Every structure is written in C-alpha cells, then in structure tokens.
Amino acid sequence: MEYLVSHYNYWIYTLLMMLGLYAMLAKNNLVKKVIGMSIFQTAIIVFYVSIGAKREATIPIIAHGHGSDAAHAAIDAMHYANPLPHVLMLTAIVVSVGTLGVALAICLGIYRRYNTLEEDEIQEQLQ
C-alpha cells in the first residue's frame, strides 16, 4: 500500500501511455490515431514533469531576483523544483505541435486522394 501511494504518478502515466498506444493501433479513423499520438506525447511529458517535482518546493523562479545583492544570497537547491525536465519538456511540447500539424496535413492529403478517412476503406481502395 505504501508502495502504491508513493509511486502513483508512474501508474497514471503508464495508463495514459497505454491508452494512447491502444488508440494508435486499434482505432479505424486516421484522426483518432493522431489524437492517440497526442495523448501518448502528453503522457511522456507527465512522466518527466513528475520526475522533476519535489515535495515542498516552489516553482523554479528565484524569488526577489531583482537587484545585484540577490545574486549573493544563499540559494538552497532543495527549495526549488528541478528545472531540467521542464526545459526538455518545453522542447517536447513545441515539437509535438509541429508533428501534429504535419500529421493532420497528411490526413488531409489522404482524404483528398481517397475521399475517406477510415483505414479499412483506404486499404480496400489500395487493392
């Protein structure tokens, strides 16, 4: 029980990731597959952000950061959340929106060519 409570973020991110994976594999409609890809990506971002979280820590912006004397005050690393996963995930979110744009453009191109968005109808037309 203690293990379950202390690790619950990993259960949640695994559940969301498998939800996205199932949607990408088993759904018929192409746009639903793209939605599954987006859910997959946000689940990965939940994982990394939850690694960077710290109990009783504040956001990674140094308070009272103005002025030249602030640089010499002691900054305790325990009081701030870990900024490295946040940086990596900022890049991941922006890349994911680029990927989403290209994926939806490909879906539009497929619709223009085959006049349907369902995968099995496209496979029938291909044969």
Q: Is 18 in the site for other proteins (CB under 8 A)?
A: yes
Q: Is 124 in the site for other proteins (CB under 8 A)?
A: no
CA angle 83, 86, 90 (to 5 degrees): 140
- Binding marks (x or -) toward other proteins, 55..84, rule CB under 8 A? xxxxxxxxx-xx---xx---x-xx-xxxxx
**CB-CB neighbours of 96 under 10 Å:** 18
Q: Is 7 in the site for other proteins (CB under 8 A)?
A: yes
Q: How far is the CB of 48 from other proteins (least distance, A)?
A: 9
Contact by Cβ (8 Å): 51, 85 = yes
Could you tell me how far CA 93 lies from the centroid of its own chain? 6
Q: How far is the CB of 95 from other proteins (least distance, A)?
A: 6
- Extract the tokens encoding 77: 């690393």
Q: Is 125 in the site for other proteins (CB under 8 A)?
A: no
